[in-house]
Amino acid sequence: MYDDLVEFLQESVTPFHAAATAESWLCAAGFTRLEEADYWSLEPGKGYYTTRNGSSVVAWRVPQHAIGGWRIVASHSDSPSWKIKADTVENDGCRRLSVEGYGGMIMSTWLDRPLTVGGRALVKTEDGIESRLVYLDRDLLVIPSLAIHFQRDINKGHTFNPQVDMQPLWGPAGSRTLTDLVAESLGVEAADILDSDLQLVTRQAPTQIGPDGEFFMAPRIDDLECAATTLLGFLDASGETDSACAPVWAMFDNEEVGSSSRMGAASSYLRDVLDRILEAVPHSAQASHRAMANSFMLSADNAHATHPNFPQKSDPCAPVRLGGGVVLKYNASQKYTTNAVSGAIFRAICRKADVPVQVFTNRADEAGGSTLGNLQSHTLPIPMADIGCAQFAMHSAVETASVTDAEAMTKAVAAFYRVHLRALGDGTYTLE
């Protein structure tokens, strides 16, 4: 399982690559791609998937009988990074790229490390316009620090100005441009590149650390660890799930900037797909409402582990440990969707599967972050629980997590898809 996670982390250098990696896994498992613009004809027992913007994916398997509910797990494909605004800018004998921050990040972690460029380019072809993945697989750029000699108090703290401190060095004046390199990598003329969505990418490969390799470090652990492990659980169980419920796996883009895009969790994307599935199989309006009432969703986004150097930042009543199992997240302000009902259901599923569960809550005097579950609730009125894997250094250029927690997440998600969950009434369920 860990090797699969490493593959996903290495291949998914941008949200577009994450969607492509997920697509390759789904295709290998026999799933069929559908385009949103085409007519959908679905067969019982078959698996399908569709993409939006090339950066979000929804996959599902059609039950053999009428759809009696949905079993959904969702994660996100994006991570904080630097979006490239302009090709190269001359400055004092050097060329720089012009970048703008995407998402909330620890800016200092991007300094003095090898970087490159990834994303997509829209290319003019004989037939029209085509989107192509871009990844310049080499150490290409750096954001150099200012020497301590010019900022003697740097170790006392520094406020980073992204326009001044965080613009990456491209090369000497007169060097080839980014457009030149992208065109060369795609085998096209520079003039044929009509537009692009490109970003900086950290070059560090995933690596295990600890006396016995208990932990691992990698870029984009938040949230590609959940994306990969939930997809592994979905593929492991989707062929043998509750015959009355349709298993669904989703990965959204733009969570780090609020999810309000057409491919984000706050959009109608997932609801659009579910409605179209029902339209493609025999059902009634009553059956549609009953299926929604008998559904359940897991919102999978990583959680903060209690930091050994800063334990005072965590709730002393809810310590979270690397290697402690899947994290179930609660928030009084409903930034997380877990409540007593959804929490009990998830705990019961994990208990049957022998998967350890730990709880995350914020300190009462610390504002918490949000994720995609509560936003998805705007279009899907179904019970949800927020879960994740524990990690350190969330939103750093390189983060740290536990190998066994990734295994626990995969096992928990597979068990979730396999369970025969039935809503007998409001707040009353059976699990078989």
Q: What digits encode the pLDDT tens for the residues 281-329? A: 876 677 788 888 899 999 999 999 999 999 999 999 999 999 999 999 9
Q: Give the DSSP H or E segment for 346.
A: helix 340-353
pLDDT category at 242 given cuts 50, 70, 90 is low
The percentage of residues in the chain with a pLDDT greater than 70, rounded to a whole number, is 98
Residue ranges of the alpha helices (H) in 58-177?
162-165
Give the pair of three-digit tokens for residue 239.
Answer: 């062929």
Which CATH superfamily includes the segment(s) 2-79+219-431?
Answer: Zn peptidases (3.40.630.10)
Tokens coding 113? 């490390």
Q: Which of 218, 178, 212, 159 is nearest to 85 (CA)?
A: 178
User: Average pLDDT, stretch 28-54?
Assistant: 96
Mapping DSSP to helix (H, G, I), strand (E, B) and coil, where does residue 141 land? strand
The ranges of the chain annotated as CATH 3.40.630.10 are: 2-79+219-431
Residue 84 has pLDDT above 70, yes or no: yes
Per-residue model confidence (pLDDT) at position 307: 97
Q: Are 194 and 377 in contact (CB under 8 A)?
A: no
Mean pLDDT of the chain: 93
CATH number at 82-202? 2.30.250.10
CATH 2.30.250.10 residue ranges for the chain: 82-202
Helix (H, G, I), strand (E, B) or coil at 198: strand
Q: Could you say which DSSP state residue 334 is in? A: S
